Amino acid sequence: MNAERLVKYRFIWAWADEKEERWLEEMAAQGWHLVKGGIRFVFERGEPRRMRYRLDYRASYPQGKDEYFSLYRDAGWEYVGNYFGWHYFRSPAESAAPEIFTDVESRAAKYTAVLMLLGGALAANLCFVPNAIALASRPDVATPLKSLFVFQLVLIAVLVLIAIRLLVHIRRIRQQSAIR
Amino acid sequence: MSKTPQQFLPLPDSTYLILAALIEPCHGYGIMQQAASVNASGIKLGPGTLYTALGKLIEQGLIQPQGESADGNERRKLYRLTPLGREVVELECHRLAALVEWGRGKLQSKEVTL
């Protein structure tokens, strides 16, 4: 017999990942345990349990993925799943597992890695801007193509806004630690 | 281009702990266990922080991978200090000891006046 399942759709910004963690903890406390995360969240019915959920983002694994997962397992964190580099871990609330990040530098580095990815996307987009301008200024080019250029400008603007929001978040993490 | 040992000082607590734990070859789990055993330090070492730190320390030439340990069917990477890493730990150890000595001396002189 299959366990009862629940699917929820939720889009969460990279800087709001701690909110996402609290939400997953609330779900677990109600007996809904995460099976798959990302945008389409799948939960499975079980005993209500107080859990800690944590998210990590990795774009590269210099010591390999095996080492990455074994460190988390050894520290007492159960691996739930991965969504485009976002890794979901959980541990019972009463367990002695340490926080996954225990210093400011590594906590900030998580968001810096997301920022680098964004920077790559932004750079790739900017490379095509001169071509697009040249194309858009030609009278013989059809309007639909020109609207594609507008779309690209909007995309660049959105990427820049996301990058700024992430930078603010990284600064906040650093400042919080300075106060403590 | 390469840094002198002095340029690494002062070390963040967690870095000092990782380096000192690697005086003898050890895996990441062992480093975390050693970190947890230094109760009075108040330092905790999480897996995400450790993974990031290991990569950085290898890049800086303070530690190096040293094969694997097989414990049942659990394979773990082993790390060890490089000569540079050892020098950095020794320097930091002396620096901290001097700080502690100074503080202790201050406390004792205070006791006399009281």
Chains A and B: how many Cβ contacts under 8 Å? 74
Whether residue A99 is contained in a domain is answered as no
Query: Which pLDDT score is estimated for A133?
Result: 78
Residue B102 belongs to a domain: yes
Low-confidence residues of chain A: pLDDT under 50:
none
Cα–Cα distance, B19 to B21 (Å, whole number)? 5
Does A150 lie in the same domain as A127?
yes
Domain span holding position A35: 5-92
Question: Counting every residue, how long is chain B?
Answer: 114
Give the pLDDT score at A153: 87
Closest approach of B109 to chain A, Cα-based (Å): 30
Q: Is the peptide bond before B10 cis (omega within 30 degrees of 0)?
A: yes
Indicate the number of domains in chain A: 2
In-domain check, residue A98: no
Domain final residue, candidates A92, A113, A131? A92
| pLDDT tens sequence across B81-111 | 999 999 999 999 999 999 999 999 999 886 6
Domain CATH code at residue B59: 1.10.10.10
Best residue of A58, A78, A103 to probe chain B, by most B CBs closer than 10 Å: A103
Give the model's confidence band at B22: pLDDT under 50 very low, under 70 low, under 90 confident, else very high.
very high
Over residues B40-52, mean pLDDT? 86
Q: What is the complex's ipTM, to 2 decimals?
A: 0.86
Candidates B52, B66, B78: best to mutate against A (most CBs of A within 10 A) is B52
Q: What is the DSSP string of A86-121?
A: EEEEEEETTS-PPPS--SHHHHHHHHHHHHHHHHHH
**Do A173 and A150 have their domain in common?**
yes
Q: What is the CA radius of gyration of chain A?
A: 21
Same domain for A127 and A87? no
In a domain, B74, yes or no: yes
pLDDT, tens digit, 9 for 90 and up, residues A30-51: 999 999 999 999 999 999 999 9
Last residue of a domain, one of A43, A65, A92: A92
Domain span at B37: 10-113
Closest by Cβ to B46, choosing from A64, A66, A102: A102
Q: Are B43 and B14 contacting, i.e. CB atoms less than 8 angstroms apart? A: yes
B44 and A102 in contact by Cβ < 8 A? yes
Residue A97 lies in a domain: no
Binary contact (B77, A67; C-beta < 8 A): yes
Q: Does the beta carbon of A43 lie under 8 angstroms from any beta carbon of chain B?
A: no
Q: Which residue of B has its CA nearest to A55?
A: B48
| Least CB–CB distance from B28: residue in A71, A100, A109 | A71
- The string of DSSP codes covering A55-68 is EEE-S--TT-HHHH
Is A84 among the domain residues? Answer: yes
A71 vs B50: CB contact, 8 Å cut-off? yes
Rounded to whole angstroms, how far apart are CA atoms B80 and A40?
A: 43
- A20 and A80 co-located in one domain: yes
> A67 touching B, CB under 8 A?
yes
Q: Does A26 touch chain B (CB under 8 A)?
A: no
